[in-house]
Structure 1
Amino acid sequence: MAELQMQDKPVMELKHVKLRGKLRVMTDYNSTNYFIYKGRTMGFQYDMLQALAKHLGVKLELTVNNDLRESFEALERGDVDLLGMNLAVTNQRIDKFNFTVPHSQSRQVLIQLNDSIQPVSYISNQSQLVGKDIHVSEASSFEERLKSLSKELGASINVIPEKMEVEQLISKVASGELKYTIADENVAMVNQTYYPEIDIKTTVSFPQNLAWALRKGANHLTQDVNMWLIDFQKTKEYKRIYRKYFHSSRIEAMLQSEYFTLKSGKISEYDDLLKEKSQIVDWDWRLLSALVYQESHFDPKARSWVGAFGLMQLMPETAYRYDVDTLSPARDNVDAGVKYLKYLSGRLDKTLDDKTDRLQFLLASYNVGLGHILDARRLALKNGKNPDQWKGSVDYYLLNKSKPEFFNDPVVKYGYCRGEEPYLYVSKILDRYAHYKNMALLE
């Protein structure tokens, strides 16, 4: 009976994903799959996975790991539902995992310095790989392919597995630290715009299917993803996403940008200012960056239709309290916004008995005003819910505070509120903060 339950559990994963309300995905970060540019989360895999989560009617919960072996282990343990990466479908992998239909195709190519830089060691065909040291990502399909190629050639290729992802190895080849590595051609083409000195013309495989992986036996979820992928790849949206990351001249500008976070570690030109001012409210500067992006997209001249202005989108009455106006420099605007956050934090500390969800309450208060949050807490308490709990309690009453039966309740003091805005505001900032933590260092 226990064995039967273990077999049934993966089959029910589609149901579990929908009941859970989120699709747990592990991906890797690089210049095509998942990255941040000027504070915005982007990438071929990221955009595709967002579209899949929308289809399933759930939230995308994304974690990042560039160690492929660890990623497969996490999938086997059930820590994640899906590996959303460029995974070559090999016989060895098919024995252990479910794979989706291909989301794309690519050949494997040799990365080396071009022949004008290293003519003596330049490799133009696969037979010349014999006896050479080829550094590849550990547990990758590149490692499998080179071992197979050694057998085909009847001679040894010295395959050196590295605990580094593909783009790290490409950068080491570009700098001359390593002579050779292997990458998927579409990823190699994007990186060639960043490292024009590398050569990617020598192929080491025929075109291979690239797909996503799921747990062995997760057949309902695999089938649903497959049906969606087959239909999605026929749409204009898929073609737009693919063209955006693999056939767009804008990619080169992104890769060269100071605010391509994967390479520079920077989120915006205001990083130093936000690192300094975040200390006032004892926040991680990346959290403050996520709030500023949500408010103004890092545009100090941003103005809203209700009169909010600057990086922190201060309302005129709040700005007046901290002696700033529309002509004040960005530094003063951020200083005032953070001091207002500290004020709200102090008020909430006196209000909340359980401070577990204080951040959610604080973000919502900054967006819509403390009064509406206190109203939502009173509604939660009146209806037998925990007024100190955000998810499934206070957020529900805030979300519904635009309805007469809620804002006309006798416990409500601040009236109507368009609650969807602060509800989404909290979620978007926390999601973006998670992405920023994946890319930008704390210090």
Structure 2
Amino acid sequence: MKKSLILFFSILTLLLFGVQCTFIEKNFGSKFKEEVYILDLAGIQNRGFIRAAVDNNSTGYYIYRGRRMGYEYELLRDLAKRLNVQLHLVMVADIDKAFDYLQEGKVDLIAMNLEKNMERSEKASFSIPLGKMNTVLVGNESSGKITAWDQLASDTIYVREGAVYKSQLCALKDSLLLKYTIVTTPDHEETLIDQVADGTIKWTIADQNIAQANATYYDGLDISWKVQKEGDVSWVVRENSPKLLTALDDWLEDKQKRFIPDLYAKYFLNSKNSYFRSNSPFSSLAGNQISVYDDMIKNGAEQLGWDWRLLASLVYKESRFDTVATSYAGAKGLLQLMPVTLERFGVDNPNDPQQSLMGGVRYLRYLDKFWMERVPDTSERLKFILASYNIGHGHVEDAWRLTMKFGENTQTWADVSKFLELKSDPDYYRDPIVKSGFAKGHLAVNYVKDVMSVFESYKALVEP
């Protein structure tokens, strides 16, 4: 009797926690699964920006002398221009997490060199190939040049989690009856290459382009042994974004002959440029400086109560950190102040970086005070200040009055910017409440977007 009861409860437990689990998933799974995220091209264009996951490496996306650079960055910037949207980049070091972000709608596109396989194809839709890529073994020349796989003997090879490297090595190990050990790690390929270079580990695997870029500034790396012959690499989108996929494929077809090969040569075949970009103190890859004026900018930002990287973004947008820059309209200096503004805020020599910057800071403080009562929220007020800096606070104030007249929210930039854009329309700039007349308000709205976009990049790549 006791044995019968034990058998009965064992079967019942199996049914409840084993068989029934599968049954529940099959019949009621939709109740437990999260809602599928759906947003295709029209939705992205209506939203106004595309979000792309990019890898955190020395060739994909970084800051060099204040300027955003990178192979994937320049490709994506051109794609965004084609789609007529802004570009928002999301840095993701974990490839599996990038696929999770895609499914959850945190990104619309994964812009990494991804090799198509069955597991990935079940999660997402692959574009036509951007090109072909070799996978190479990275070692130190002091360990000896590899000419056959069995020379690795029982050595350990460290590979990045989520990449195809492990499956490639496992296939070789099984087919050739090899003895090496494969260890996966969350570390990026470049971190593992650093460890090979300093002798912490002996071997790793990387895409050939990443290995080539790193070999330009590490003497003694051996990247000659190929793990696998050339294979196609692509970008991916969600399966329910067919129109985005079509637009992506059309763009890639247009860019295959000239644009993509030229960019590839710029970032992977010019070893001198790659070395300087990767080792300059004014690169987010090697240092944490944006410009030679960082200390001045930090001091000015402290007076404003701003993140210094925001003020640096404004300086970059205005002058590209060129102290003698002069615009067609006569604006001068780091923050491109007009002659009347220079005089008003005490700048005698606009080519003096200290004077020019601090004159701009005083002007920004004036604009902050001007908008403080009308727009109490700091993050919202920043956009009013930036727009005013670009087009003049009189035009932004006109847009603020129009926003109030038409019953929308005067404390949000989203609402006020719509009316600023309408200041080129006679129905609006001739309204009696408009004091400053016609303006190409869309340029100021885009200016704010550009400064904030640079700021987001600086925040992602440069420490506070």
TM-score by length of 1: 0.91
Provide the residue aligned with 1:430 in structure 2. Answer: 452
Q: Measured at CA, do residues 169 and 221 of structure 1 come closer, stay the same or move farther in structure 2, by a change above 3 Å?
A: same
Task: Tell me by how many angstroms 1:215 deviates.
Answer: 2.6
Residue 216 of structure 2 aligns to a residue whose secondary structure is: helix
Task: Tell me by how many angstroms 1:217 deviates.
Answer: 4.3
What are structure 1's unaligned runs of at least 5 residues?
A: none
- CA distance in structure 2 between the aligned counterparts of 1:216 and 1:408, rounded to whole angstroms: 49
Task: Tell me by how many angstroms 1:287 deviates.
Answer: 0.8
Q: Measured at CA, do residues 380 and 2 of structure 1 come closer, stay the same or move farther in structure 2, by a change above 3 Å?
A: farther
Q: Measured at CA, do residues 219 and 130 of structure 1 come closer, stay the same or move farther in structure 2, by a change above 3 Å?
A: farther
CA contact (8 A) 1:125 1:203 kept: no
RMSD: 2.5
Equivalent of residue 242 in structure 1, options 235, 247, 264? 264
Provide the residue aligned with 1:395 in structure 2. Answer: 417
- CA distance in structure 2 between the aligned counterparts of 1:149 and 1:241, rounded to whole angstroms: 33
- CA distance in structure 1 between the aligned counterparts of 2:59 and 2:376, rounded to whole angstroms: 45
Q: Measured at CA, do residues 210 and 97 of structure 1 come closer, stay the same or move farther in structure 2, by a change above 3 Å?
A: same
**1:17-76: per-residue Cα shift (whole Å, max 9, x none)?**
233232221111222211221111121111222222223232222111112222122123
**1:400-421: per-residue Cα shift (whole Å, max 9, x none)?**
3234333222111122323233
CA contact (8 A) 1:10 1:216 kept: no
What are structure 2's unaligned runs of at least 5 residues?
A: 1-27
- CA distance in structure 1 between the aligned counterparts of 2:356 and 2:175, rounded to whole angstroms: 65
Residue 424 of structure 2 aligns to a residue whose secondary structure is: coil
Task: Tell me by how many angstroms 1:224 deviates.
Answer: 3.4
- CA distance in structure 1 between the aligned counterparts of 2:132 and 2:153, rounded to whole angstroms: 26
**1:256-279: per-residue Cα shift (whole Å, max 9, x none)?**
322221221221111222122211
Residue 134 of structure 1 aligns to a residue whose secondary structure is: strand
Task: Tell me by how many angstroms 1:91 deviates.
Answer: 2.9
Residue 401 of structure 1 aligns to a residue whose secondary structure is: helix
Task: Tell me by how many angstroms 1:8 deviates.
Answer: 11
**1:80-123: per-residue Cα shift (whole Å, max 9, x none)?**
21111111222332233221121121111111122xxx15x543
- CA distance in structure 2 between the aligned counterparts of 1:292 and 1:61, rounded to whole angstroms: 21
Q: Measured at CA, do residues 433 and 363 of structure 1 come closer, stay the same or move farther in structure 2, by a change above 3 Å?
A: same
Equivalent of residue 132 in structure 1, options 148, 151, 155? 155
**1:333-378: per-residue Cα shift (whole Å, max 9, x none)?**
2122112212211211122255552111011111222111101111
Determine which structure has greater relative contact order: mean sequence separation of CA pairs < 8 Å that are 6+ residues apart, divided by chain length.
1
Moved more, 319-328 or 102-111: 319-328
- CA distance in structure 2 between the aligned counterparts of 1:66 and 1:329, rounded to whole angstroms: 41
What is the percent sequence identity of the aligned residues? Answer: 36
What are the within-5 Å matches in structure 2 for residues 375-414 of structure 1? Answer: 375-391=398-414, 393-414=415-436
CA contact (8 A) 1:31 1:262 kept: yes
Task: Tell me by how many angstroms 1:180 deviates.
Answer: 1.5
Matched, 1:103 2:125: no
Matched, 1:46 2:53: no
- CA distance in structure 2 between the aligned counterparts of 1:269 and 1:247, rounded to whole angstroms: 28
Matched, 1:362 2:389: no
CA contact (8 A) 1:11 1:220 kept: no
Residue 106 of structure 1 aligns to a residue whose secondary structure is: strand
Q: Measured at CA, do residues 129 and 217 of structure 1 come closer, stay the same or move farther in structure 2, by a change above 3 Å?
A: farther
Provide the residue aligned with 1:372 in structure 2. Answer: 395
CA contact (8 A) 1:308 1:315 kept: yes
CA contact (8 A) 1:355 1:388 kept: no
Equivalent of residue 189 in structure 1, options 212, 215, 220? 212
Provide the residue aligned with 1:259 in structure 2. Answer: 282
Q: Measured at CA, do residues 196 and 394 of structure 1 come closer, stay the same or move farther in structure 2, by a change above 3 Å?
A: same
What are the within-5 Å matches in structure 2 for residues 298-313 of structure 1? Answer: 298-313=321-336
Task: Tell me by how many angstroms 1:162 deviates.
Answer: 1.8
Task: Tell me by how many angstroms 1:211 deviates.
Answer: 1.0
CA contact (8 A) 2:61 2:70 kept: yes
What are the within-5 Å matches in structure 2 for residues 56-205 of structure 1? Answer: 56-114=83-141, 118-119=142-143, 121-205=144-228
CA contact (8 A) 2:36 2:104 kept: no
Residue 79 of structure 2 aligns to a residue whose secondary structure is: helix
- CA distance in structure 2 between the aligned counterparts of 1:56 and 1:241, rounded to whole angstroms: 20
- CA distance in structure 2 between the aligned counterparts of 1:346 and 1:269, rounded to whole angstroms: 29
Moved more, 78-87 or 399-408: 399-408
TM-score by length of 2: 0.87
Equivalent of residue 55 in structure 1, options 82, 90, 100? 82
Q: Measured at CA, do residues 205 and 12 of structure 1 come closer, stay the same or move farther in structure 2, by a change above 3 Å?
A: same
Q: Count how many residue pairs are aligned between Structure 1 and Structure 2.
A: 435
CA radius of gyration, larger in = 2
Q: Measured at CA, do residues 273 and 178 of structure 1 come closer, stay the same or move farther in structure 2, by a change above 3 Å?
A: farther
Task: Tell me by how many angstroms 1:2 deviates.
Answer: 10
Provide the residue aligned with 1:26 in structure 2. Answer: 53
